[in-house]
């Protein structure tokens, strides 16, 4: 069933048509007649919205046709007043003059009523749904939205708002599912989130959460009804299916929501780091997308690279070897270590979030690599790293990063504070 505003629009339109035909001896302007037919057609579509699924377009087209009709009425009134003055100046029929005066007065009044109905229709006349300030359109292709996480230190993810209008007691169901991770440069953040997120009731009636991904509630008596969604993990895509039912009719909306890190992360591969080698230690996790860091982390690694280079070139890591030949001759030689570069393992992914490794989280310890502030640096002897190099990295890395590293056995885990 259509809402009262649509019935009022049709009623006022039909009154205008009747007045125009009365003043025009059964004839009306062709453009005006076309607008009236559009309004009648769109009103019918809105009454049968469960079948047509064109609610949003029909409402807009009805409102636009109504506004155009409103704009045409003053022209018609001017023509009728000219006709009235012509008849009066030629001593024409007083009945005709009286009719034209009555029609112009009623047209002015009915035009104002139609304008008020159009305003009511566009504001909240029919059931409507929106997400984050955008109206959802059941007839359009499922839209995409992006939510941006400000970071762990910023207090967590701000809520996103669903809002609804419609008859009091209308039932709304929201179902949510994880679709996949986001794709970047051939790399998929495909790990499913630990949980889909949570919903918070603002002013809905009979609010009930059935599971992590489904809730149902009813609209309040007047104004907008809203619920909030709080996303969980970064770099994931969710699909929402929203079903809104009222008085035997209804509509369904589909939308996708991506969750990304709000702050910019920088690709370490883009910097000239002569004494660093970026790697991941496996062939399934492309190097090109594992080394994104915050501005502070990139600057710290640049400083570490330069400092390491000076130490290496000065022979700080050279190992002395003594060769005993003649009893009076000892030969001491210095040899550079086999591995001359700092081996930098994972930082963060381009949009933050958890790592993927064969469809699973890379490892539990990587849960901290979401924000671009963490880096793993190898001290594994099997990679050619000597004890001199490992000790230097512990000491100098702490000086540059400003925090003591976590020794994970085969690598050091550093973290910097982000401004």
For the segment 235-267, what is each residue's pLDDT rounded down to a tens digit? 778 899 999 887 666 788 899 998 888 888 999
| Higher-confidence position of 50 and 117 | 117
Please state, rounded to an integer, the average pLDDT across all residues of the chain. 82
CA dist., res. 350 & res. 189, Å (int): 10
Ordered DSSP codes for 306-319:
HHHHHHHHTTTT-E
Q: Give the tokens for residue 318.
A: 């050279």
Q: Give the tokens for residue 239.
A: 């699909």
List the single range of 3-7, 89-93, 165-169, 277-281 with lowest mean pLDDT: 3-7
Q: Say if residue 51's pLDDT is above 70.
A: no
Same domain, 272 and 384: yes
pLDDT score of 52: 46
Q: What residues have CB less than 8 Å from 28, skipping those under 6 apart?
A: 17, 20, 21
**In the chain, what percentage of residues exceed pLDDT 90?**
44
- How many beta carbons lie within 10 A of that of residue 141, not counting itself? 7
Residue with tokens 């996103």: 160
**How does pLDDT run across 57-84, given as a tens digit for each residue?**
777 788 889 989 999 999 999 999 999 9
Strands 342-344 and 276-278: parallel
- CATH number for the domain spanning 196: value is 2.60.40
Specify the 3-state DSSP secondary structure of 69: helix
Same domain, 270 and 387: yes
Same domain, 272 and 403: yes
Tell me the mean pLDDT in the region 304-327.
84
pLDDT score of 1: 37
Q: Say if residue 102's pLDDT is above 90.
A: yes
Q: Say if residue 361's pLDDT is above 50.
A: no
**How does pLDDT run across 180-223, given as a tens digit for each residue?**
755 554 344 445 555 678 899 999 999 999 877 899 999 987 66
Tell me the mean pLDDT in the region 82-111.
91
Same domain, 65 and 49: yes
pLDDT score of 200: 92
Specify the 3-state DSSP secondary structure of 167: coil
Sheet containing 214-218, strands listed edge to edge, beginning at the edge strand earlier in sequence: 144-149, 249-261, 236-246, 171-181, 214-218, 205-211
Report the Cα–Cα distance between both ends of the chain, in Å, rounded: 55
Q: Provide the whole-model pTM.
A: 0.60
Tell me the mean pLDDT in the region 24-46.
89
Q: Which domain holds residue 96?
A: 4-125
Same domain, 201 and 255: yes
Among 73, 90, 125, the domain boundary falls at 125
| Higher-confidence position of 123 and 103 | 103
Same domain, 156 and 234: yes
Among 226, 261, 296, the domain boundary falls at 261
Same domain, 164 and 290: no
pLDDT score of 419: 63
Same domain, 66 and 22: yes
Q: Which of 175-189, 215-229, 305-319 is the most confident on average? A: 305-319
Same domain, 400 and 280: yes
Same domain, 46 and 87: yes
In the chain, the number of structural domains is 3
CB distance 204 to 266 below 8 Å:
no
**How does pLDDT run across 137-171, given as a tens digit for each residue?**
776 667 899 998 887 666 677 899 999 988 788 89
Same domain, 29 and 102: yes
- 68-79 burial string, b = 16+ CB within 10 Å, else e? ebbebbeebbee
Same domain, 322 and 386: yes
Q: Say if residue 394's pLDDT is above 90.
A: yes
Among 261, 293, 316, the domain boundary falls at 261
């Amino acid at each position: 069933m259509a809402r009262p505003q649509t019935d009022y629009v049709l009623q006022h339109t039909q009154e205008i048509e009747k007045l125009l035909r009365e003043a025009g001896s059964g004839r009306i302007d062709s453009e005006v007649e076309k607008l009236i037919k559009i309004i009648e057609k769109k009103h019918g579509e809105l009454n049968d919205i469960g079948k047509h699924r064109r609610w949003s377009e029909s409402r807009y087209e009805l409102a636009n046709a109504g506004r155009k009709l409103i704009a045409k009425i003053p022209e018609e009134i001017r023509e009728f007043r000219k006709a009235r003055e012509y008849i009066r100046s030629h001593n024409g029929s007083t009945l005709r003059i009286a009719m034209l005066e009555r029609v112009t007065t009623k047209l002015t009044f009915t035009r104002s009523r139609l304008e008020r109905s159009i305003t009511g229709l566009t504001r909240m006349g029919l059931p409507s749904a929106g997400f984050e300030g955008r109206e959802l359109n059941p007839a359009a292709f499922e839209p995409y939205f992006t939510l941006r996480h400000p970071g762990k230190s910023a207090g967590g993810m701000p809520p996103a708002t669903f809002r609804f209008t419609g008859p009091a007691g209308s039932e709304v169901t929201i179902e949510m599912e994880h679709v996949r991770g986001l794709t970047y440069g051939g790399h998929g953040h495909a790990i499913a989130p630990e949980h889909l997120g949570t919903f918070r009731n603002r002013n809905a009636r009979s609010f009930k959460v059935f599971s992590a991904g489904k809730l149902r509630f009813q609209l309040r008596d007047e104004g907008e009804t809203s619920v909030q969604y709080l996303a969980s993990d970064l770099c994931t895509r969710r699909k929402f299916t929203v079903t809104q039912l009222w008085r035997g009719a209804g509509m369904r909306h589909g939308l996708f929501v991506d969750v990304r890190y709000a702050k910019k992360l920088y690709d370490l591969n883009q910097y000239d780091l002569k004494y660093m080698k970026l790697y991941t230690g496996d062939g399934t996790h492309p190097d090109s997308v594992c080394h994104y860091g915050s501005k502070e982390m990139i600057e710290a690694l640049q400083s570490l690279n330069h400092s390491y280079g000076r130490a290496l070139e000065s022979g700080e890591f050279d190992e002395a070897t003594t060769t005993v030949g003649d009893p009076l001759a000892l030969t001491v030689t210095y040899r550079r270590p086999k591995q001359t570069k700092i081996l930098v393992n994972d930082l963060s992914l381009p949009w933050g979030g958890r790592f993927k490794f064969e469809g699973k989280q890379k490892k539990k310890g990587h849960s901290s690599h979401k924000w671009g502030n963490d880096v793993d640096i190898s001290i594994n002897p099997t990679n050619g790293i000597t004890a001199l190099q490992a000790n230097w990295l512990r000491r100098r890395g702490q000086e540059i990063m400003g925090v003591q590293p976590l020794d994970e056995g085969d690598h050091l885990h550093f973290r910097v504070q982000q401004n």
